[in-house]
Amino acid sequence: MIRCIAIDDEPLALKQIADYISKTPFLELAGLCESALQALELLDKTPVDLMFVDVNMPDLSGMDFVKTLENPPFIVFVTAYSEYALEGFRVDAIDYLLKPISYSDFLKSANKVKAWFDAMQQKPAEVMSNKDFLFIKSEYKILRINFDDIKYIEAMSEYIRIHLVNSKPVMTQLSMKSIEDQLPEDRFMRVHRSFIINLSKISVIERNRIIFDGTVYIPVSDQYKSKFQNYIEKNFLN
């Protein structure tokens, strides 16, 4: 079971989320909070896997509240304002629900969280590597992938997708942590819960986003921003 709390200063909205949680077999309601400060008190006493957080709340907004947490649980933001979606992505939110919320939209977000949760419970598959390449299993084959050929790696629920230069992406059942541990730190960097990039393939950076091929925009989340900024500054030509 995934233990959840809901945080919203609107009682009706809070009741709706609570009702949706009770209808979802793999979710368990651990508490309801009408403010971020109340949620802080609950988190000190109760283990929580997932938070449904309203963005606009008095005293401390949901977005600012999440940024104060050193090791936050999974986050799904809930709000009436679509402009907060990108900022929510930067703080590693799993999803973003726009009010009024239907149960189908809620369940879709809950399933995304479940995929992440299940993947984290699994024993990571083996991956073998040396300084220039790695071997992974994909579609009943063992593939050699050269580090120089990797552009970026993307998390896809319990799978990862390795995007390559001049070749179609490769899918394999691995966690981001397991492949991150096998990549050379001087050549690759995690910039988001869902993305690892090859530093040598960066050509354009725009507003905390790394652009690949002119069409793929990879956000740098707050959790990894400082490390990435230090790398840029060390390699910046004045």
Question: Residue 208: left if φ>0, alpha if ψ -120 to 50, beta else—which one?
Answer: left
What domain count does the chain have?
Answer: 2
Under 8 Å between Cβ of 155 and 195: yes
Residues 133 and 98 in one domain: no
Task: Cite the beta strand spans of the chain per DSSP E.
Answer: 2-7, 27-33, 50-54, 74-79, 95-98, 128-129, 133-138, 141-146, 150-156, 159-164, 167-172, 188-192, 195-198, 204-205, 209-212, 216-219
- The reported pLDDT for the residue numbered 123 is 47
- The reported pLDDT for the residue numbered 42 is 93
Residues 217 and 177 in one domain: yes
How crowded is residue 144: how many other Cβ atoms within 10 Å of its Cβ?
11
* Residue 6, domain CATH: 3.40.50.2300
- The residue from 66, 98, 121 where one domain ends is 121
Q: Which helix (H) or strand (E) holds 43?
A: helix 36-45
Residues 180 and 80 in one domain: no
Is the pTM here over 0.75, yes or no?
no
**Phi/psi at 107 (nearest 5 deg)?**
-65, -35
**Phi/psi at 214 (nearest 5 deg)?**
75, -5
| Helix, coil or strand: residue 222 | helix
- The reported pLDDT for the residue numbered 112 is 87
Per-residue model confidence as pLDDT tens digits over 97-114: 998 999 999 999 999 898
Under 8 Å between Cβ of 4 and 49: yes
Under 8 Å between Cβ of 31 and 46: yes
Spatial CA neighbour of 40 closest among 27, 51, 55: 51
- The reported pLDDT for the residue numbered 166 is 86
- The residue from 79, 98, 121 where one domain ends is 121
Peptide bond into 11 cis (omega under 30): no
Q: In the structure encoding, which two tokens stand for residue 62, read together? A: 């949901």
Residues 6 and 110 in one domain: yes
- The reported pLDDT for the residue numbered 67 is 84
How crowded is residue 40: how many other Cβ atoms within 10 Å of its Cβ?
15
Can you give the pLDDT of all 238 residues of the chain as single tens digits? 999 999 999 999 999 999 999 999 999 999 999 999 999 999 988 889 999 999 888 888 888 898 888 778 889 999 887 665 445 455 667 888 998 999 999 999 999 898 878 766 654 455 666 678 888 877 657 788 999 999 999 987 668 889 999 888 888 888 888 889 889 999 999 999 899 999 999 989 988 899 988 888 999 998 899 999 999 888 876 5
Residues 149 and 230 in one domain: yes
Q: Which residue range is the domain that position 151 belongs to?
A: 128-234
